[in-house]
Structures are given as structure tokens and as C-alpha cells.
Amino acid sequence: MDLPQALLLLCAGVVTGAVNAVAGGGSLMTFPALLWVGLPPVQASVTNSVSVAFGYLGGVASTRKDLQNQTVLRQLVPAAALGAAAGCALLLGTPEEVFDWIAPTLVLAASLLMAFQERVMSWVAHPHQQPKWAKIVAVFAIGLYGGYFISAIGVVIMAVLGLVLQDDIRRTVATKNVIQLAIGVTAATAFAIFGPVAWEAVAALVPGTLVGGFVGGHYGRRLNAKAVRRIVVVFGLVVAAMLFWRAI
């Protein structure tokens, strides 16, 4: 990796960290950045998962007070981790020519989910209680998605938790952060051992995400979260179109 590519990833990391702090969905930006520096799609997805996992600790730390007596995590965290492990195995077994079509489809789906994030949040505000087995199956499916393709995982988790949990929004967000961390750590560990991680790219991205997260957290209140989210959505749709064109 040459210096311009490293600087591109560093800048992408800064933007990603800031966007995550303000509106979420920043990993939709790091994936195409990894493609632009020449990584194959599967390796880009693997490297993206490892790079963003470092940022999930902050979310858990910031909402730990809302986790008191949240005993449901005893079932949900293992389900999320197992799902993530299965998703990692599925990704590593996917041929590049197949993932060339899957990647833009997932970017498109993640972008559309970001576009309807407010509706997702309103759904969570009117929670629904489901049997234990339904919660476990749903969170396993979340983990499967996160292990395979990490982008917009926070929005996906919130959407699913709104379907299966009966809890207030603050505790749901705290639960989301723990599940997100479990998926991120599982995926990062699996890919570090078995995956084709581009460690030079990780070294360029991670410092950027940390700086961007700090800046976004500090100045984020001055920004319009809706406007930032719209930019992310438009960017994701453009990237999806470019990836579809590339796959043809």
C-alpha cells in the first residue's frame, strides 16, 4: 500500500468515525474505500469488519448504566456470537465472483435501511414482546448478517430488537451496543485467525475512526443528524450502483 492509499483510508476512517458518532452507518463508507485502494471484495469486507470492531467498545461504555438487570443478554450474546461465527464462515466460503453481486445488494439494502432509520426507531418506541426462542433465533440471524457484512449493523440490530423485545428505547440501545460488540469481536477474531485481513489497511483506518469518533462526539450536536444520514444514504446508493456496474 502506497502513501496516497494510506491517506485515503485514514481520511475515510475519520469520516466514518464522525458519521457513526452523529448518525450511524459510517461503515458504508469504509467498505468502498477499501475497494478503491485495490482490495478484492471479500478481503475488503473482512478488513472492514476488523477495522470497525474497535469502535464498539465506546458504545457499550457509554450506555452501561442502562444495562442493569438486563438478564436477556445471557441468551442473546451467545446467539449473536454464534451467528457471527457462522456469517464469517459463510463469507470466507463465498467465491469472489458471487460476492461481486452480493456486495452491492447488501450495500443497497443497508442504504435503504438507513433511509428508513426513523421509522425503525419509531417501531422500537412501541416494543413487542416475543417468546425466548424467537429472540434467540432473531439475534442469531443478526449475527449471521454482521459476520458476513458489517455495514449498518447497528440499524439492523435496532430493527430486530424492536420486533422481539419489550423495553424502553434507552435499554434497547444499550442492548444493541452489547450485541454489536459481541458480533464485532467474534468477527474480528475469526477473520484475524482465518481471514485475508489487509493489516496495513486496518492500521490506516483505525486511527482515523478513533479521531473521527472523538471529533464527531464533540461537535456532533452542531450538525444535523438527518442531513448527515441523507448524505450517507445517497453515498451508499451511488456505491451500490457502481458495484453493480462493476459486476456486470
Give 140-180 pLDDT, tens digit per residue. 999 999 999 988 788 788 878 877 777 777 788 788 888 98
Mean pLDDT of 111-118: 77
- pTM for the full predicted model: 0.84
More confident residue, 44 or 116: 44
User: Considering Cα of 30, then 52, then 111, then 116, what sign does the dihedral take?
Assistant: negative
Q: How far is CA 204 from the centre of its chain?
A: 18
Mean predicted lDDT score pLDDT of the chain: 84
- Secondary structure (3-state) at 26: coil
